[in-house]
Amino acid sequence: MSGMDDEATERLSIGTFARLAGLSPSALRFYDDCGVLPPAEVDPVTGYRRYAPGQRERAVLLRRLRGAGLPLVEAAVVLDGPPERARAVLREWQRRTEEEARVAGAVLAEVLRELPGGAPARAVLGGAELAGAVRQVAPAADPGHPLLRCVLIEPADGELRLVATDRYRLSVRAVPARVTARPWPEPLLVEVAALREVAEWARGAEEVAVEAAGAEAVWVRDGERERRVPLVAGEFPAYRLVLEALEPVRHRVIADRVALGAALAQARAPVVVRRGGTAGLLVGGVAVPALVTGPGLRVAFDPVVLAGAVESAVGPDVLLELGGEEAGPVRVRSADQGGFTTLVMVVRDGF
């Protein structure tokens, strides 16, 4: 008798075939009762089921389909239907299971956040507000410095604060936000390029959530959409000490932002800004419409640095605030957004 004849007549007990196919004997009985995997023969006296070795391929495929959760009726189509119909059934089941997994994942993530100690630190704010804040502070970062190329993200009571500095200017923007009371990792430093990209992505969202669940990344989420922003290890300059050391304001200058920016754009060297009597403010030799309060004013700036701070402001006006006689950093504030401040370092006349 040939090997083919041997295979044709060889029969396996249900226990042996179950081990061969990776199924339990009870599952084989169930599939026999359902008609999707009947045995090769059934002893008419004992009722024992016996299987042919060639049935293993069908049994393994059935096991895989059921392991993927495919209902038995649809598994039968894959086993016995035309290939086009089998593919259609499998694609539809794949779509359904992926959607169900996505919904379940979102629900579980929400429940985990709600459990005591399980939620990440979180700040919820407007997408446009986040994008605007990034636009304002990002120019103050230094792309060539390992840490100063980063923006510091810092939650506070009722607001999210973004901070950037290149040592010549320091920009701070506070945005109203709903902030959780849980401790946030310190510090949250992200590269300015990555933050600009995610801010553009979030611009059109009504609200976004900034979440920090560990020391490797922050997540910006808009409902079902999300973006991961890697954290950079390091220590950001102690900017609060700089702010706390500022002298009381003695000079205030409210200037036309566009006119001041245009005057600075014409300068090619450090420019002296001084009170110009009836002319308002003189930037180099250019008169700029301004309201100036306080005693006599004369201070010099790097025009590129000051122009960048003025450009980042919002609205038609910009407010400059200076301290005592020994001129320290100058506060450049947006008249329309009190939560945005840039400090610009002064330079010596003729430097």
The answer to whether the beta carbons of residues 283 and 241 sit under 8 Å apart is: no
Contacting residues for 302 by C-beta, under 8 A, at least 6 apart = 168, 270, 345, 347
How many Å from the N-terminal Cα to the C-terminal Cα in the chain? 105
Contacting residues for 110 by C-beta, under 8 A, at least 6 apart = none
Per CATH, is 121-230 categorized as 3.10.150.10? yes
- Rounded to whole angstroms, how far apart are CA atoms 59 and 21? 6
Helix/strand/coil for 90: helix
**Residues 3-80, CATH architecture:** Orthogonal Bundle (1.10)
Query: Fold for domain 246-344?
Result: DNA Polymerase III; Chain A, domain 2 (3.10.150)
Strand partners, 44: none
Contacting residues for 30 by C-beta, under 8 A, at least 6 apart = none
At 91 the pLDDT is: 94
Side chain identity at residue 250, one-letter code: R
Output the pTM of the full model: 0.61
10-residue mean pLDDT series, the chain (351 residues): 53 92 90 91 91 94 92 91 93 92 78 62 89 89 84 87 88 88 76 91 89 80 86 86 83 83 79 62 79 73 83 79 71 72 75 42
> 137: closest CA among 111, 160, 158, 103?
160
Give the number of other Cβ atoms within 10 Å of residue 336's Cβ. Answer: 13
Contacting residues for 21 by C-beta, under 8 A, at least 6 apart = 28, 55, 56, 59, 60, 63
What backbone phi and psi angles, to 5 degrees, belong to 178? -90, 110
The answer to whether the beta carbons of residues 151 and 136 sit under 8 Å apart is: no
Q: What is the DSSP letter of 345?
A: -
Name the residue ranges covered by the structural domains of the chain: 3-80, 121-230, 246-344
At 2 the pLDDT is: 41
Cα 170 to chain center, whole Å?
A: 24
Q: How many CA within 13 A on the CB side of residue 103?
A: 6
- Rounded to whole angstroms, how far apart are CA atoms 260 and 310? 8
Contacting residues for 240 by C-beta, under 8 A, at least 6 apart = none
- Please report which residue ranges of 138-256 form alpha helices under DSSP H: 192-202, 239-244
Q: Which two tokens stand for residue 108?
A: 């579980």
Helix/strand/coil for 319: strand
What backbone phi and psi angles, to 5 degrees, belong to 234? 150, 180
Q: Judge if 121-230 and 246-344 fold alike in CATH terms.
A: yes
Tokens 């001041």 belong to: 260
Q: How many CA within 13 A on the CB side of residue 263?
A: 23
Compute the radius of gyration of the chain from its Cα atoms.
Answer: 35
Q: Is 307 left (phi over 0), alpha (psi -120 to 50) or beta?
A: alpha
